[in-house]
Amino acid sequence: MLITICGPTATGKSGLALNLAMRLGSVILSADSRQVYKYFSIGTAKPTIAEQELVPHYLINIFEPTETFTLAEYQEQAQSLIVNSPTGNTDLRPPSLLVGGTGLYIKSVVKGLKIPRVWPDQRLRSQLADLGQAQCYQILQQVDGEAAQKIHPNDVVRTLRALEVFYVSGKPISQQQGENPPDYPILQLGLDCDVEVLGDRIRERTEKMVEIGLVEEVNFLSDKYGVDLPLLNTLGYAEIKQYLAGDMSLKEAINVTVLHTRQLAKRQRTWFRAYPEIEWFDANASDLLDKVWERVEEFMTITEKYSGDRFW
């Protein structure tokens, strides 16, 4: 049994999940593409040590910032944790909670995406990129016409990936994709709120991150891994890095971070709203936990009725 909690950033997904997990005796699986990396904590809103002591969290702090973590690896680890019950309780297994704002991570699990097991090959990508996008797309039309129909002629990233998969595996990417949904029950919940309210929440959270040590975290990571570390060019870290380089004031860095975070929230909202199976709740509602808990109990009751067990 799986319960997902998704939605735009800063809507309170982690807090809701923590409360639900404590009631259910569940574990929390992160669906955040940056929380998998060690030391990237404040800027990714990673659960605190105290929160991790209250509820077991998985899929955080498992890779060095210099390592590459693929979608296929994430899917494999998440599915294994869900099926094999990290609680160790195999007789009465509470549902796992899959929580985060990385839509593709969640989709890979709930849809059972078939993902080509082809590792990124930077040398091959570089060679293909040197040919130019127009020629690469022409090649793709020849070797995998089905994939080319789904990829925009100007989409460099997907074009290179499709060619990479073809040349490494010898099979078109279109033949290696598709869906194979899991057979366990899934309840998908989403949190959202008014755009302006969310904007206020984003600013409050950003200022709090700076207050509790985001600047120091970026300083530490820059010293440890170098300022050219790709992860330091991601949201929150890139802006503070600019401040440390003297390119803007701290106030400006905070304002730019807020702006970029609001833009991210808009993209996340667009992504998740495309899936009608997600049931939405107002993140700002005073009775949010009660409403969500009522829906979770209903879901579990129905599941128990058809499974013959208390938990799946």
Mark 116-132 as b/e (b = at least 16 C-beta within 10 Å): bebeeeeeeeeebeeee
Specify whether the CB–CB gap between 83 and 77 falls below 8 A. Answer: no
Mean pLDDT along residues 263-268? 97
Statement: residue 99 has pLDDT above 80: yes
Give the span between the Cα atoms of 36 and 101, in whole angstroms: 13
The token duo for 114 is 């078939």
Statement: residue 17 has pLDDT above 60: yes
Evaluated on CA atoms 194, 107, 234, 17, the torsion sign reads: positive
CA count, 13 A, side-chain hemisphere, 56: 11
Give the span between the Cα atoms of 269 and 263, in whole angstroms: 10
Render pLDDT for 55-89 as a digit per residue (tens, 0 to 9).
Answer: 999 999 999 999 988 899 999 999 999 998 665 54
What count of other Cβ atoms lies within 10 Å of the Cβ of residue 293? 16
Give the span between the Cα atoms of 271 and 34, in whole angstroms: 18
Give the span between the Cα atoms of 99 and 24, in whole angstroms: 15
Residue with tokens 């950003």: 206
Q: Mean pLDDT score of the chain, rounded to an integer?
A: 93
Render pLDDT for 106-126 as a digit per residue (tens, 0 to 9).
Answer: 999 999 999 888 878 889 999
Mean pLDDT along residues 114-142? 91
Statement: residue 260 has pLDDT above 60: yes
Q: Phi/psi of residue 190, each to 5°?
A: -130, 145
CATH class label, 122-175: mainly alpha
Q: Phi/psi of residue 125, each to 5°?
A: -60, -40
Give the span between the Cα atoms of 6 and 137, in whole angstroms: 34
Bridge partners (DSSP) of residue 63 are 37
Domain with CATH 1.10.20.140 in the chain: 122-175
Question: At the topology level of CATH, where does 2-114+180-307 sit?
Answer: Rossmann fold (3.40.50)
Domain with CATH 3.40.50.300 in the chain: 2-114+180-307
For helices 237-244 and 214-225, give the axis angle rounded to 10 degrees. Answer: 80
